[in-house]
Structure 1
Amino acid sequence: MYEYRRLTPAQRIEVVQQRLAQGYPPHSPPHPIRDQLFYLLTASCYEHQPHMRCEKRRKQVLDLLFEQFIAWGMELRGWVILPNHYHLLVYVNDFDQIGRILRSIHGSMSRQWNLEDKAVGRKVWYYYSDRAIRSERHYYTTLNYIHYNPVKHSWSDSPYDWSCSSVHWYLEHQGREWLRDSWVRYPVRNYGKEWDDFAKVEDASR
């Protein structure tokens, strides 16, 4: 979104034409892979504004995510809710329901928060994106990436310091040694910087 703004009008037209030629929507993230069991889902607040700065709102979003995904027979395997975006590692049994679930949650939260903040009509959420999980290594690296995200974005000094994260569930049910071993075996490194290149490497390693 931000890179697009820095393009010239001619460059913007070229980018949109390239996306349309690939069958992608002109501006929103494409969802080309729809037949996998696990996905990394990411949703951001518009302009990356910290509308979830207070823990109450982060917990509210997390509760709704659990409620809605469970209602559709899906399962959250990893999560982190930050002040301006969130990541989910989800077992998916019906890809077409993902958009409906997130639009419902984002719509209800937008209305409530705009009333609370006296900002009726404000745009709160941007589009969500999804990344298909292609291998066991990709799965656990994604989980580690999710747990490390509060540190990556300087919201906390340690993954364990951030409350709205699945790291605490894994700490309770798998133990610190399991988490430490997973971190060593599946390091995050530059995960997230070159999504498509990472996916190609993962496909080649299967």
Structure 2
Amino acid sequence: MSNYRRLYIPGGTYFFTVVAYRRQTVFADEQRVNLLRQAFREVQSKRPFDLLAAVVLPDHLHCIWRLPLDDADFSSRWQMVKTAFSRRIPANVKMDGAKTVWQPRFYEHCLRDENDFHRHLDYLHYNPVKHGLASSAADWPHSSFKRFVNMGWYASNWSAIGADPDDIEPE
């Protein structure tokens, strides 16, 4: 059994990476991405949280969430998102009865300050470029990047102007 600990902070802001089982391309089409969006909305209606930023790639996703001030339980929310999405798609079933859609765990990082938030936001939005899926962040359709451009946080050609991936890797 893994010997790691999660940091649960009520009202915390977290960066997450969630990966498909054996890196399957479960989000390779628009319909699947829409099913994931539905799963997020369903969970948010039952267990509110702010989805501040997201990018969905074919085999994984990154998100930044802010939890309610009196709540630190992101793990249950992720379980609910994974379950809600898994119910919507066909998938093989393992011996224990679980569908083969998601890796069993996820990576989380509690964002410490504004600089940490911005580094992870940059990493999230640059990820499709890093993986060779788009030539710029603006070209990737399953991302919150354009919303941040509209808010004035990024120039529309941000990742096309020579951003160095080493400059935006989170610590």
Common fold, TM-score beyond 0.5? yes
Amino acid at match of 1:88: C
Greater gyration radius:
1
Question: Which residue number corresponds to residue 108 of structure 1?
Answer: 84
Q: Structure 1 residues 158 and 77 mapped into 2: Cα distance closer, same or farther (>3 Å)?
A: same
| C-alpha distance after superposition, 1:149-180 (max 9, x if no partner) | 11111111111111110101112232654985
| C-alpha distance after superposition, 1:78-136 (max 9, x if no partner) | 1001111111111112222x22222222123223322xx6x455411011221010111
What does residue range 54-203 of structure 1 map to in structure 2 within 5 Å? 54-69=29-44, 71-93=46-68, 94-96=71-73, 98-114=74-90, 119-121=92-94, 122-126=99-103, 127-174=105-152, 176-177=154-155, 180=158, 189=167, 191-192=169-170, 198=171
TM-score of the superposed pair, with normalisation by structure 2: 0.79
Unpaired runs of 5+ residues, structure 1, are: 1-25, 193-197, 199-206
CA distance in structure 1 between the partners assigned to 2:156 and 2:131 by the alignment: 24
- What is the CA distance between 1:52 and its match in structure 2? 1.1
Q: Structure 1 residues 133 and 178 mapped into 2: Cα distance closer, same or farther (>3 Å)?
A: farther
Q: Structure 1 residues 48 and 151 mapped into 2: Cα distance closer, same or farther (>3 Å)?
A: same
Question: Which residue number corresponds to residue 51 of structure 1?
Answer: 26
Question: Which residue number corresponds to residue 33 of structure 1?
Answer: 7
- Structure having the higher helix fraction is 1
Q: Structure 1 residues 179 and 160 mapped into 2: Cα distance closer, same or farther (>3 Å)?
A: closer
Q: 1 or 2 for the larger relative contact order (CA 8 Å, sep ≥6)?
A: 2
- What is the CA distance between 1:48 and its match in structure 2? 0.9
Give the 4+ runs in structure 1 shifted more than 6 A. none
Work out the percentage of aligned pairs sharing the same amino acid. Answer: 23
Amino acid at match of 2:150: E
CA distance in structure 1 between the partners assigned to 2:32 and 2:38 by the alignment: 10
Cα RMSD for the two superposed structures: 2.9
Question: Which residue number corresponds to residue 203 of structure 1?
Answer: none
Is 1:66–1:76's contact at 8 Å kept on the other side of the alignment?
no
Is 1:62–1:81's contact at 8 Å kept on the other side of the alignment?
no
CA distance in structure 2 between the partners assigned to 1:71 and 1:158 by the alignment: 35
Q: Structure 1 residues 38 and 125 mapped into 2: Cα distance closer, same or farther (>3 Å)?
A: same
Aligned length in residues: 161
